[in-house]
Chains A and B, each alone.
Chain A
Amino acid sequence: MKTSPLFRTLAALATVAALTACDDDTVGPVAPMVDADVMSVDFGALDVDFGPGMTRIVTLTNTGSESVMLGAPSVSGSGAAAFMLDGAPGLTTLAAGATLEIGLIFDPVSAGPTSAQLDVPVTGGDAVMVALAGTGADYVYRQVDRIGIPALNTVFNHPPAFSKVDYNTASPADDLATYTGRFETVLGAVANPDPSGTAALLLPDALPVSLAGETSFATLTGRDLADDAVDVALSVTVGIESLKSDNVDANDVAFLGSFPYLAMPNN
């Protein structure tokens, strides 16, 4: 009698099920037992443009009394593309009581929640399965602070009339319209000989940088670590002769000759 392929498959499955059930009822070799320390890993939210997130570790433990052979871990399911194994082990023999750490990384490919499953085959026993979940995000940020030319906000804006928060959260694109008048007033107050020209030099609040050769705040071609920004700023803004230098001309410790150039932190 001919049978369809589907029938044969179902029959085979039934046989396996019967044998498995039979195993449970008889005295025989103890099935290997391998447990994961977690049932699921929730990676939380990560910006889809960010790149791979931090590695999370799932620890498997052989809770049986004999060594166990583990197959290569794999990730499957609808969101499998967003989850990666970090240096995944291949076949591994796990001694009784021993543990194996499996690293997993979330790298969302689209916005919204996604999920998958980690499978680790166990020879002669039940595969270890751990649910994986995470959410792809597309964050928008709000500006908290800004810094271009040293000290402009601190020098020119005095609350409550001129809010430092407003300045910090503003775009330089609005600086000319918003702050030119204020800057001219303050520059006049400290005897600057050319308030409007100086205000035009300082606004919009962005540091001029030259790609040609040396850079220095004194020549408005950049700002190096050793530049005396306070004295330069005073000389540019303040017209009072006795206020050209704060008499502190260098950092307390030397800068480094190589990257990252800033000195080591103080202990």
Chain B
Amino acid sequence: MPRNPSQFLLRSTLGILAVGGVVVAANLDVRAADHADSPDTTEGNLDANDLYVFARGDNLVFALTVSPLLAPGQATADAAFNPEGLYQFNLDRERDGVADAVIQVAFLGSGTDQMVDVRGPVATTATTMGVVSAPSIRAPFDQTVVQGGTSIFAGPRDDPFFIDLFGDRSVTSVLNAAFGAALGEQVGADDEQSLEFNPDATDDLAGLNTLAIVVEVPKSQVAGALGIGPSDAFFAWATTGVRQ
């Protein structure tokens, strides 16, 4: 449950298509949209923003952004990943919602002295979330390390997500209005009456940073771990977890 009514209101207002991004306004507690969808954690670095999976030549790149709405400077000064967290790319062969292979990302230490450990892609049949025993590649915070065809990076970046998130006729407020009218659900405090987006909209995440985990691996490794053909499809989602 949200800790206080204003937080609840703010986050609800944000909630919409914000795959990424979100609000800022005057309230420092505000977090990005899909971002702001983790009201059970005060740890922004476990709040997942966006998942990207894209091809570059014969490689596949997995990127996960967490810690939405980092102000410039903050990203390098005190933002870091959760050393008790486990960040995971889940790869699913049959689209049954059960991961058949994982890429795991975990951190040692705190602050910007952190080291990141990346393992996988590796097949798994685990039913609980835990570090798999597989070889890992290690990199210092905010530095790229390339090893055996795999590249890894974890550190602050410009938030790659772009959206009209705030203000009059933003995605958030207009869609809230649509839902509100049709479902009878009061979604946001500033729901619009007009069902048209702002024609002069700009990227409201411009100038803001996020924490990013980027892992590039050969497609053949993904296919191998999943046991699928070199031109097959699979399904991916990312999770954040914390020690129980």
List residues of A whose CB falls within 8 A of some B CB: 47, 49-51, 53-54, 138-148, 150-151, 153-155, 157-159, 161, 164-165, 167-169, 171-176, 185-186, 188-190, 204-215, 221-225, 228-230, 233-234, 238, 240, 242-243, 245-253, 255, 259-267
Chain B interfacial residues counted at CB < 8 A: 120
Q: Which residues of A contact B214 (CB under 8 A)?
A: 259-262
Question: How distant is the Cα of A142 from the Cα of B179 in the complex, in angstroms?
Answer: 32
Whether A214 lies near B243 (C-beta < 8 A) is: no
Residue B92 contacts which of A54, A206, A230, A255 (CB distance < 8 angstroms)?
Answer: A206
List residues of B whose CB falls within 8 A of some A CB: 8, 12, 14-20, 33-34, 36-41, 43, 46-56, 60-61, 63-65, 70, 72-73, 75-76, 85-86, 90, 92, 95-98, 106, 108-109, 115, 117, 128-133, 136, 138, 144, 146, 151, 153, 156-158, 160-164, 170-171, 174-175, 178-179, 182-183, 185, 187, 195-209, 212, 214, 216, 219, 222-223, 228-244
Residue B244 contacts which of A139, A155, A267 (CB distance < 8 angstroms)?
Answer: A139
Question: How distant is the Cα of A230 from the Cα of B132 in the complex, in angstroms?
Answer: 35
Whether B179 lies near A158 (C-beta < 8 A) is: yes
Give A160 Cβ to nearest chain B Cβ, in Å: 9
Give the dominant DSSP class at A's interface: loop
Whether B52 lies near A154 (C-beta < 8 A) is: no
Q: Which residue of B lies closest to A148 (CB)?
A: B237
Give B29 Cβ to nearest chain A Cβ, in Å: 16
Whether B157 lies near A262 (C-beta < 8 A) is: yes
Whether A225 lies near B63 (C-beta < 8 A) is: yes
A251-B235 in contact given A144-B241, A164-B15 (Cβ < 8 Å)? no
Whether B12 lies near A233 (C-beta < 8 A) is: no
Whether B12 lies near A168 (C-beta < 8 A) is: no
